[in-house]
Amino acid sequence: MELRLKKGSLQYLMVLAIAVGLFLGTGQISGGASGSDQLGPAFWPRLILGLTICVCVFEIGFRQFTDMEGMSGLLAQVTSEMEKVEGAVEEESGEANPLRLISGVILTLLYVWVMPEIGFTLSTFLYTGLFIRMGGYRKLAVTAVVSLLGTLLLVFLFMKVVYVSLPLGKGVFGEISIALLPLLGIR
Amino acid sequence: MEVINHLINGFASVFLPANILSLAIGVVVGMLVAVLPGLTLVMGVVLALPFTYSMGITPAVILLTAMYITGTYGGAFTAILFKVPGEPLDVPLLWDGWRMAQKGRPAEALGWTLFAAFFAGLLTVAAMVLMAVPFASFALKFDAPDYFAIIAFGLTSVVALGGASLTNAFISMFVGLFIATIGVDEIYGAERFSFGIPMLADGVEYLTVMVGAYGLGEVLVRFEQGFKSQPLDLGAKVQTKLPSFAEAFKLRATFLRSSVVGLLCGIVPGAGATIASFVSYGIERQYGGQKEKMGSGIPEGIVAPQIASTASVGGHMVPLLVLGIPGSGATAVILGAFLLHGVQPGPQIFQTQAAMVYTLFASMFVSVIAMCILGYFAIKPLVRVLYFPEAITSAYVVLLCFIGAYAARSNLTDLWMVALFGVIGYLFEKYKFPIAPMILGTILGPTAERTFQTTMISFQNDWTIFFQRPVSATVLILAIVALGVPVVKAWRDIYIPALRRGRA
């Protein structure tokens, strides 16, 4: 008999695989009084992962035997019932562009990665400008001004008002950041 | 009498410079956040959190609570004027509010919204003040099994009420509870799921989960679509015409029904302003005096959802303050502000932090009044923020997410956590897993485990103890009912017919 996974089950299969892997990993959790009646530190995660496995198995199994998706909660039921009567709200949204998304995620990861190296000010200025540009806003001069002023405002607010020590960067970048601080009234 | 004295002192304290400034900023920013379609109420409160780090506890909580209250009202402008609901809770306002505006009476529609928000705001805060102290006295008797039962009820009701799919909501909650187990456990001191990575050994800060999933995750969803918003025509139609008291008095039954719905939805964890708004509209359509005219642009259809959503705020604040259990995303952030300032909400808070609590109560009264004044006089400049390019707003949302997470512990690894949970938040949105159960699971997970393990140790692993104590037994039965009703209903109405179809 050919066993083919129904559409939409893949996400549950992935969650199931991760949950099973983690459940097996709970065997390595040590601690608690051995030999005592206590449940031990592995009990709670085992309970959570066990229930996750049960839910995933139920959903995958159910999808295999029927042509329907899972049941909805009360809010979704109420919303859909009301919208059937009153008309659904059409949300204005553009077409999904996975390439834009991937580049946005990479840009964000790069921002986190370079921030300790080049400092908050420079990395934030660059990130903001690129994010706005990649987000579809085309006015270059406005983007540059907004990025610069916004970055300086954030530095001022968080370092001068909220007293957060933002990363200054290493080497020459650190020196530039330190030189910039007095210009913003930060000592 | 003691409550009144505390409240009078609270009002005096609200007008101290730091507190009133926080309140004013909270009301204005809350209104802006509610107006902007790309920003949700919870996101706004999350982004404001880092600005409260250097504040005292009282102005910090005043700021966030003012944003929370105002957020339930501000989105009405764009819903009524432009058919753009600023928040999901504003969707029912389209059905009568926008239609009334289409009939050439937008000022009247805005007037009803303002009147409803004002009425509900004052009522909900008064109800909260009256309920909180007796509830706290009762909660002082609670023990570990009772707390565990209450948390279980909170989590199951979030799952049962909020999710588009119960399975997805369950998985989301389990993910949150699992995240809370990472690091060293409180009872046995054992390291769990750190995989030798030092940043995981310290555990996952729930702030990074919240900021990443709510803030960065939502931005990534809109970023993928290129921030497309519809062009809006502002014209000269933006003004408010308040109804007369005689007109409002005719709607007294609607006011009463919607207030009760709002307060009850607020108290039940997971229900919140959105479900209150929908349920109230539905009840009005079912039982209201003008039920056959609902959806044609009548005041009842505007008043019902607006009252319910604003009234839910007070209901949500009671379990937060008295039990330390947040029932929604926004109250979870407010709990975060309490904890970051070293204050643990709970039944003792009325003894240990009475001045702060009553100042908060008083500030909520003042916030409602300030919100209505702002709504009446400043609609036009407020709705102009819709012209602000969303790409720019979103860039700063992301930046505030990162700064907020970093500022809590000055730890660079928290930035990676935000990025990670941003991607997880995006995947949750994409595959229709609700985020709220994960957040509440992460926040309530440690308390749930601690109270469960403490009970098991104290009562020799006898799990029936939960059903032997009146409070825990009642609450657990409620939890089972809350979860059982939609499951049984769906099983009977959908699953069994679907299984039959599958076999046929």
Per-residue pLDDT of chain A (187 residues; tens, 9 = 90+): 456 767 778 889 999 999 999 999 988 887 765 556 778 889 999 999 999 999 999 888 878 777 666 665 556 666 666 666 666 555 555 677 889 999 999 999 999 999 999 999 999 999 999 999 998 888 899 999 999 999 999 998 888 877 788 889 898 999 998 888 888 887 7
- The total domain count for chain B is 1
B167 touches chain A (CB under 8 A): yes
What is the ipTM score, two decimals? 0.87
Is A78 in Cβ contact with B457 (below 8 Å)? no
Is B216 in Cβ contact with A108 (below 8 Å)? yes
Residue B237 lies in a domain: no
The Cα–Cα gap between B230 and B250 comes to 37
DSSP of B446-496: HHHHHHHHHHHHHTTT-GGGGGTSHHHHHHHHHHHHHHHHHHHHHIIIIIH
- A chain contacts of residue B164, beta-carbon cutoff 8 Å: 72-73, 75-76
Is B162 in Cβ contact with A75 (below 8 Å)? yes
Q: Are B303 and B258 in contact (CB under 8 A)?
A: yes
Residue B449 lies in a domain: yes
Q: Which residue in B171, B407, B457 is closest to A38 by CB distance?
A: B457
- B chain contacts of residue A40, beta-carbon cutoff 8 Å: 188
Residue-range domain boundaries for chain A: 7-27+42-71, 98-183
- A chain contacts of residue B188, beta-carbon cutoff 8 Å: 31-32, 38, 40-41
Could you tell me which residues come within 8 angstroms of residue A143 by beta carbon, excluding any fewer than 6 positions away? A129, A132, A133, A137, B392
Residue type, A132: I
Q: Chain B: nearest CA to A175, how far in angstroms?
A: 20
Residue B331 lies in a domain: yes
Q: What is the tens place of the pLDDT at every residue in B355-391?
A: 999 999 999 999 999 999 998 888 777 777 777 788 8
**Where do we find the tokens 């209250």?**
B69
Q: What is the tens place of the pLDDT at every residue in B454-500?
A: 999 888 888 899 999 998 999 899 888 877 877 777 677 666 776 67
Token output for B344: 């643990």
The Cα–Cα gap between B350 and A108 comes to 44
Is B94 in Cβ contact with A89 (below 8 Å)? yes
Q: Chain A: nearest CA to B223, how far in angstroms?
A: 6
Q: Chain B: nearest CA to A141, how far in angstroms?
A: 13
Q: Which residue in B187, B456, B498 is closest to A68 by CB distance?
A: B498
Residue B242 lies in a domain: no
A81 touches chain B (CB under 8 A): yes
Question: Where are the extended beta strands (E) located within B144-238?
Answer: 183-184, 191-192
Is A112 in Cβ contact with B228 (below 8 Å)? no
Q: Which of A5-9, B255-259, B327-331 has the lowest mean pLDDT?
A: A5-9
The Cα–Cα gap between B145 and B126 comes to 31
A18 touches chain B (CB under 8 A): no
Helices (H), A26-169: 43-65, 74-86, 98-118, 120-134, 140-155
Residue B241 lies in a domain: no
Burial A35-44 (b: 16+ CB within 10 A, else e): eeebbbbbbb
The domain of B391 spans 2-232+252-503
B186 touches chain A (CB under 8 A): no
Is A73 in Cβ contact with B166 (below 8 Å)? yes
Q: Which residue in B190, B224, B412 is closest to A98 by CB distance?
A: B224
Residue B245 lies in a domain: no
pLDDT at A86: 60
Q: Chain B: nearest CA to A102, how far in angstroms?
A: 8
CB pairs < 8 Å spanning A and B: 254
pLDDT at A137: 86
- A chain contacts of residue B498, beta-carbon cutoff 8 Å: 66-68
Nearest CA in chain A to B394: A132
